[in-house]
């Protein structure tokens, strides 16, 4: 069996980890693997690979007309076939190229040539497997509004039961739709460190919601910090640096970019527990990996992610479903901006706005133009002489287990 694994890039991140884990597992099972990407990693890649530059993300501000997309898609499809045929030439009567072209996350319009190229590959007889980590319907109205339909005559893979159910109800046949949860490889926590951090081991992209983690830092025990491992890509850097500036202004016990200076194993060795405040995940590595390193998990629950894991026997006793902010804490003008943004999103998907949304935001207590928001609340709690409330955070490292049959939970209680 010869499988080509295709992705836009191999930069550090969740989908790249999945691609590399798949290459490792397939190779160990005797499958021949070739990784094809539009951008290679900085370090050494341990698997056979081929660079196809046209697979990379679209350049910001560059828009292609219909003719350019058609020509570019044909070239991209041809380049993908070419590198597979060069790596697997015809032998012993077998046809050249890959038996299966396994393409990761093709439907989110990061590359305007990819979906048209997939249709060309499919029309030419290539066997395609599209593994979807994200879908246009999952809070991506800019993609949903496009006129590019999902490819036909391909097998589809999804990484959680929610997406499986949605696509099944949308009309995909059972034979062509597959639920393939990602493989989780155990992490190792280095020994000998003092455990003082609530570690958020992520690249701080927007959906990881690090502002909420900063808010949680107001309530951790003294002598502890909330710690982030990696900065976001360049496109999110301005927002990220505003969070850094706010943390500095409020003197919050927060550390940034630790993964640039320390190994993940060493950082896990300094952690009291892992933290997550993400508002959107595809699979949810951050809900599983911490306990492999002996850590519990605290933070925001994502129901459709946790439901799959709970069916497998895991428990998440220290996750909260939402974080309610008093209306009087919303600065003037922000409520209107929030409502306008949500109206645009609902309209993009053709869904009516909930009728009581405006009432909830504008009910009595909304602060109008008064400066009564997060900054003032932060100063009140973080004053040097103000004792910090623990808010349920553990004071000792360890977890109380993760598997229901063991009679334990994935909470934060110390041993």
3-state SS, 96-143, equals: CCCCEEEEECCCCCCCCCHHHHHHHHHHCCCCEEEEECCCCCCCCHHH
- Mean pLDDT for each 10-residue chunk of the chain (415 residues)? 96 88 94 96 90 94 91 97 94 83 93 95 96 83 72 93 91 92 90 96 93 95 96 91 97 97 96 95 90 93 92 91 81 82 83 68 39 33 35 56 33 29
pLDDT of residue 373: 32
Query: How far is Cα of residue 75 from the mean position of the Cα atoms in its chain?
Result: 30
pTM score:
0.78
Handedness of CA 377, 378, 381, 383 (dihedral sign): negative
Q: Which residue has the tokens 């349920």?
A: 392
Report pLDDT for 307.
Answer: 92
Structure tokens at 261: 């200076």
Strand arrangement, sheet containing 319-320: 254-255, 225-230, 197-203, 271-276, 297-300, 319-320
Distance CA(38)–CA(8), nearest Å, equals 5
Q: Where does residue 365 rank: exposed (0-12), middle (13-18), buried (19+ CB within 10 A)?
A: exposed
d(CA 283, CA 55): 23
- Domains defined for the chain, CATH in brackets: 2-179 (3.40.50.2000), 197-325+373-388 (3.40.50.2000), 333-362 (no CATH)
Strands (E), 159-213: 177-179, 197-203
Q: What is the pLDDT of residue 359?
A: 52
């Amino acid at each position: 069996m010869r499988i080509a694994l295709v992705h836009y890039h191999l930069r550090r991140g969740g989908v790249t980890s999945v691609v590399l884990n798949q290459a490792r597992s397939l190779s160990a099972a005797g499958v021949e693997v070739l990784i094809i990407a539009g951008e290679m990693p900085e370090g050494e890649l341990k698997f056979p690979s081929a660079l196809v530059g046209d697979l990379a993300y679209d350049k910001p501000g560059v828009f292609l007309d219909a003719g350019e997309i058609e020509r570019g898609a044909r070239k991209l499809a041809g380049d993908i076939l070419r590198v597979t045929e060069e790596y697997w030439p015809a032998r012993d009567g077998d046809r050249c190229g890959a038996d299966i072209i396994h393409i990761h996350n093709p439907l989110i319009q990061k590359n305007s040539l990819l979906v048209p190229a997939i249709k060309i590959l499919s029309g030419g007889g290539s066997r395609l497997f599209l593994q979807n980590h994200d879908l246009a319907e999952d809070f991506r109205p800019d993609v949903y509004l496009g006129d590019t339909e999902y490819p036909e005559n391909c097998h589809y893979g999804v990484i959680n039961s929610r997406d499986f159910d949605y696509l099944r109800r949308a009309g995909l046949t059972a034979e062509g739709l597959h639920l393939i949860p990602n493989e989780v490889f155990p992490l190792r926590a280095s020994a000998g460190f003092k455990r003082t951090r609530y570690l958020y081991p992520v690249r701080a992209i927007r959906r990881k919601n690090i502002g909420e983690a900063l808010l949680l830092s107001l309530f951790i025990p003294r002598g502890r910090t909330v710690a982030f491992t990696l900065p976001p890509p360049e496109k999110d850097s301005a927002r990220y640096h505003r969070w850094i500036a706010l943390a500095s202004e409020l003197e919050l016990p927060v550390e940034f970019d630790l993964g640039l200076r320390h190994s993940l194993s060493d950082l896990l060795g300094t952690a009291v527990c892992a933290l997550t405040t993400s508002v959107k995940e595809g699979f949810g590595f951050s809900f599983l990996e911490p306990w492999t390193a002996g850590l519990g998990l605290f933070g925001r629950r994502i129901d459709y992610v946790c439901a799959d894991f709970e069916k497998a026997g895991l428990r998440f006793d220290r996750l909260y479903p939402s974080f309610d902010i008093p209306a009087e804490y919303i600065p003037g003008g922000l409520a209107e901006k929030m409502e306008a943004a949500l109206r645009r999103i609902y309209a993009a998907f053709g869904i009516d706005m909930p009728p009581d949304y405006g009432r909830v935001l504008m009910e009595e207590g909304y602060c109008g133009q008064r400066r009564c928001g997060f900054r003032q609340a932060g100063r009140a709690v973080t004053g040097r002489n103000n004792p910090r409330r623990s808010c349920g955070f553990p004071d000792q490292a360890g977890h109380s287990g993760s598997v229901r049959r063991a009679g334990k939970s994935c909470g934060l209680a110390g041993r």
